[in-house]
Amino acid sequence: MWAALSVNELLAATIVASTPLLLASIGELVVEKSGVLNLGVEGMMIVGALCAVMGAITTGNHFYAIAASIVGGAALAMVFAFLTQLLTANQVAAGLAIALFGVGATALFGQPFSGAAAQALPLLRIPVLADIPVVGDILFRNNVLFYLSIVLAIGVGWFLRFTRWGLILKAVGENPEAAHAVGFPVIAIRIAAIAFGGAMAGMAGAALSLVQIPIWVEGLTAQRGWIALAIVVFAGWKVWRCVLGAYIFGGVSTLQFNLQAAGSPIPSQYLLMLPYLATIFVLVLISADKYRAKFNAPGSLGRPFRATA
């Protein structure tokens, strides 16, 4: 059984499975750092996946397809921002509504593209580095979204830790009243964070529909948006842990499929359900205030802010 599992192929498949999780979780981390809890990641992710397929099929250009996924995810995020930041609707209820809307809307508007295959993103080879034995073929001969996910993870980590606006974003997430009192535009900062998170979720959808499963089927994301939410909490709202968590979750998913293909006596359903059980457990924990400090959650996470004069 184990002979059927090629280490190189397993690692390459793990990268493919982990990239959408990393993109979505990094985007959600920025949103939550601003004090907003966005449970609509699943909806934004699947909208991005459909937009990417539509863009790839209609234009034949991968750049336009990825751009369409970013716009689609960000547009749905702006609906969430309007509801929660301008109308001060409950963030949990609004997020769930956005998630359900995204799944339903793509099922409706995706019907003409059902079963349609999009041309997968080509592999980009980095000269010299790609010639390194074993590692080179896996890490430096990959698709553009993998490279972009790593660059964005590094960039977000640097932004949050070393830049003035990154510190302001974290201050807004910890104490929006104090940030407002010293003159920072809390609502504008939160809306910008939500837009970024939506764009990242949309791009994560593109990583699914243009790389991992280059074909449109209803429910393509298969609840991966909820796993991205769990990864943020598991990571303790730290970027490097998000990277680690995304690859752990992606690795478990990949291992499950490979064990099934290799004829493992372990029922595949047991491994398949682990990420989702972990997601439920984490969301239950985060809903209880007494656990938030333990997980290093932003102080105002999920709490609405109403600006006063």
Q: Which pLDDT band holds residue 305 (cuts at 50, 70, 90)?
A: confident
Residues with Cβ within 8 Å of residue 193, at least 6 apart in sequence? 30, 31, 33, 34, 36, 169
State the average pLDDT over residues 194-213. 95
The residue behind tokens 């790593």 is 150
Rounded CA separation 200/120 (Å): 19
State the average pLDDT over residues 170-198. 95
Q: Which pLDDT band holds residue 35 (cuts at 50, 70, 90)?
A: very high
Q: What is the mean pLDDT of the chain?
A: 87
Report pLDDT for 263.
Answer: 64
User: For the domain 2-292, what is the CATH code?
Assistant: 1.10.3470
Q: What percent of the chain has pLDDT over 70?
A: 86
- Within the chain, residue ranges assigned H as helices are 7-33, 41-59, 62-81, 91-109, 135-139, 144-162, 164-174, 176-181, 186-207, 224-234, 239-261, 268-286, 289-292
pTM: 0.90
Report pLDDT for 292.
Answer: 55
Q: Are 173 and 51 in contact (CB under 8 A)?
A: no
Rounded CA separation 62/207 (Å): 11
DSSP bridge partners of 117: 215
Is residue 112 classed as helix, strand or coil in its secondary structure?
A: helix
Residue 256 has pLDDT above 80, yes or no: no
Q: Which pLDDT band holds residue 3 (cuts at 50, 70, 90)?
A: very low
Rounded CA separation 222/269 (Å): 14
- List the domain boundaries for the chain: 2-292
Two tokens at 58?
């209609």
State the average pLDDT over residues 114-141. 85
Rounded CA separation 297/276 (Å): 21
Q: Are 213 and 223 in contact (CB under 8 A)?
A: no
State the average pLDDT over residues 213-241. 89
Report pLDDT for 1.
Answer: 41
Is residue 184 classed as helix, strand or coil in its secondary structure?
A: coil
Rounded CA separation 136/41 (Å): 33
Q: Are 130 and 137 in contact (CB under 8 A)?
A: yes
Rounded CA separation 147/155 (Å): 12
Rounded CA separation 269/190 (Å): 39
**Listed range (201-215, 253-267, 293-307) with the worst mean pLDDT:** 253-267
Among the listed residues 190, 140, 106, 128, the one whose alpha carbon sits nearest the alpha carbon of residue 15? 140
Residue 289 has pLDDT above 60, yes or no: no
Rounded CA separation 186/234 (Å): 26
Report pLDDT for 295.
Answer: 61
Rounded CA separation 165/292 (Å): 24
Q: Cα Rg for the chain, rounded, in angstroms?
A: 19
Rounded CA separation 241/167 (Å): 19
Q: Are 233 and 32 in contact (CB under 8 A)?
A: no
Rounded CA separation 200/133 (Å): 32
Rounded CA separation 262/303 (Å): 48
Residues with Cβ within 8 Å of residue 236, at least 6 apart in sequence? 295, 296
Q: Which pLDDT band holds residue 29 (cuts at 50, 70, 90)?
A: very high
